[in-house]
Structure 1
């Protein structure tokens, strides 16, 4: 995935208390709002101090609606001390004495049942900084419950949640309670490397990166196995138990408009070919009753929709190709068609690719991107019901967590956010970004039960270069550079990064809101060649894969940080595989 620097500054959309920081979850209350016509009302509030110093603090307030859908809200509370609110975000704040009123912003007033909104503010205080004791919404005191109408005695009883799902039954989290498919082609490549046996049985995704991959071809990494072959192998591996197989849908017209290493086979205007000769055959195979008991998880079109926000118009990161794809609408139309056709298959779970924190972590990137995701999910025959969630960090290197950096903290009176590395981003790692994006997506109209996936295949950053604690430096940039576990030269670097390591192994339900850590990018497969290589796969040469390249606007003109002697994207790269093993965190 491509990283996009941007220096936009607007409202902060907070994620969670960063691990290792002085954040403190201080308590929770509930709130409710409803018009008299609504049948149920109730909600939940979590008030968290994410940073505190001698005279001030930063607080995050998460609102979850437990009742009927709301069109607007007004939250009220009283401080017990002399706290005063300064600047706030994601709502309109007012304060009279100790009483605080917050009304929704124009983009987050709608809250579906179990939908959430996140607000935050900076404040000052002296003495004790106590958490408010209660919250109300439109005058309704929050008590943690919902006022539900009496159930219809003729309604069937709810299913026992402890009962295991039937084979093929749609589940909330497809990874929970399921085995994960091991791609035998990747497994054989991994096992053939020194030390590779230790991870050769991990699950990796199957990439449908061209029409030929559907039926199978003799490429170095996919061998002759096509989609049907992989699904049949997954059935055999399942042996009657729940099984997840991950398939990457990656062949949009004009694919990868901001880079060249993974250019696709279809021209910018070949949307009908994409639909008829790519998506339709994939849907036909996936809908075969022989595969109905599998849980097929799709990653929908990496390197697509975020490019239409960050690499278009008058931005210095804009490209002619991305402007063309914005104008012709074929990224949106193609993603919508894939969601619609694949989402109609009962055992398929669609996750839209949503970049990563170093691409969309700025307010004026994240907000428009979520709006664009919603547009794509409601175009043509697609609906939000076709979206099971989002995936971040696909094929990228952004750290899962930065344990020694508090993005809202300060060093010697300077904000961490103004450091060269953070560059005013709201996030420094993928976990906080993924959780915040999920909240933002629900507020934008996606279903409240969506989940997130994080690609942890190459973001471990272990080995001897990994810091063991925060820096002691009082120089802001030195502190951040010595404290961060992500050792890239710049967060915009994406190709075959030197020093990277395997990340967390694939696992279900690792954190709230996260369906799974997954290995979508098979470790050891190249991101792109380090010099031009003639090929018949439609893949170009991108200088970001050249270790001598001094950069462009998308990595703020830094060195690329790429390994040398790399093959074409998707081809096996033994030297990188060995680095990933050596720098794995957790260690192999």
Structure 2
């Protein structure tokens, strides 16, 4: 995806989550029940990292299995892109509900997705997109879910994508928010880019309002990016104040070493070397306006074939996965 210029904490049970007092980004807040509840976050047993772990175990490669285990066991989001999403969403949310866990879904099918870059694609037109969103909503139904809505779509509209009319895109996102928030147990977070991208926060806030943030649970930051957590929380607080105290979630899947040095090239954000996993997923953040640390980007899955020999976006990239856990 285009990123602009550049211990299982996520599955704390009731006993571990009744009282928490953590300090992150300068704010200490006691929590009893987090905004998203005390359900553990969903760890998908069919993720690519789980499959690779199982393959290494079956082959007796215990060193590689042990190295990948933290990635496989951590709750991560499931991305929905193209194709009819109803049955997949139904199966995933049903499995998560049966396990007593809260799934995180990413809706990523907006027309003109990724401004034609490595993850280009999306629905053919507005009608096709709204039909796709309705199918996704039908699959989720009344079961609990978190939906991160359209990574990059708002931020790229603010900074200029060159391929999509801004008003139409934001209106389309607003319709998507309306459809998804009509579900009784779905929490929608509209993606808002990352702390190193849009610096005109009033413009970003206006775009988020046009995209329906008033009806959503809040916004999402740092999806598939590498900005440090403290800097992201500070950025999110400023944006939150412009939005009347809106809450947000932060993708910490690959920000443990901070952002790479930027040169202005796409490769700065596409599988950049030297990165590490960040805070483990959790709904207990200790920060008043942060509802969760999430692993929205699935560590170990490629950003795209940005260098010779690198896998296409979404495919397993084992060398990079091992690097993320320091191997």
Q: Structure 1 length as normaliser, TM-score?
A: 0.47
Distance across 2 between alignment mates of 1:491 and 1:568: 21
8 Å CA contact 2:171–2:210 kept in 1: the answer is no
Q: Deviations over 1:9-51 (max 9, x none)?
A: xxxxxxxx977xxxxx9xxxxxxxxxxxxxxxxxxxxxxxxxx
Q: Give the superposition deviation at 1:183.
A: 1.1
- Which residue of 124, 128, 140 corresponds with 1:273? 128
- Residue 351 in 1 paired to residue 189 in 2? yes
8 Å CA contact 1:203–1:506 kept in 2: the answer is yes
8 Å CA contact 2:85–2:136 kept in 1: the answer is no
- Which residue of 564, 573, 576 corresponds with 2:320? 576
Q: Secondary structure at the match of 2:102?
A: strand
- What residue number does 2:173 align with? 335
Higher strand content, 1 or 2:
1
Distance across 2 between alignment mates of 1:372 and 1:178: 32
Distance 1:189 1:502, change over 3 A: farther
- What residue number does 1:210 align with? 82
- What residue number does 1:390 align with? 219
8 Å CA contact 2:3–2:152 kept in 1: the answer is no
- Which residue of 249, 254, 274 corresponds with 2:107? 249
Aligned residues: 293
Q: Give the superposition deviation at 1:398.
A: 1.3
Q: Secondary structure at the match of 2:283?
A: strand
- Which residue of 32, 50, 55 corresponds with 1:188? 50
Unmatched tracts of structure 1, length 5 or more: 7-16, 20-24, 26-160, 165-171, 216-225, 312-318, 378-382, 402-428, 443-447, 462-484, 530-544, 547-563, 584-588
Q: Secondary structure at the match of 2:73?
A: coil
Distance across 2 between alignment mates of 1:285 and 1:4: 32
Q: Give the superposition deviation at 1:190.
A: 5.2
Higher relative contact order, chain-length normalized (CA < 8 Å, sep 6+)? 2
8 Å CA contact 2:221–2:250 kept in 1: the answer is yes
Q: Give the superposition deviation at 1:2.
A: 3.4
Q: Give the superposition deviation at 1:334.
A: 1.9
Q: Give the superposition deviation at 1:508.
A: 1.9
8 Å CA contact 1:208–1:214 kept in 2: the answer is no
Distance 1:518 1:490, change over 3 A: farther
- What residue number does 2:259 align with? 486
Distance across 2 between alignment mates of 1:571 and 1:196: 16
Distance across 2 between alignment mates of 1:18 and 1:491: 28
Q: Structure 2 length as normaliser, TM-score?
A: 0.82
8 Å CA contact 1:396–1:459 kept in 2: the answer is yes
- What residue number does 1:455 align with? 251
Distance across 2 between alignment mates of 1:346 and 1:209: 23
| Mapping of residues 545-584 of structure 1, within 5 Å | 545-546=306-307, 564-582=308-326
Unmatched tracts of structure 2, length 5 or more: 7-23, 57-63
Root-mean-square deviation over aligned CA pairs: 2.5
Larger Rg: 1
- What residue number does 1:441 align with? 243
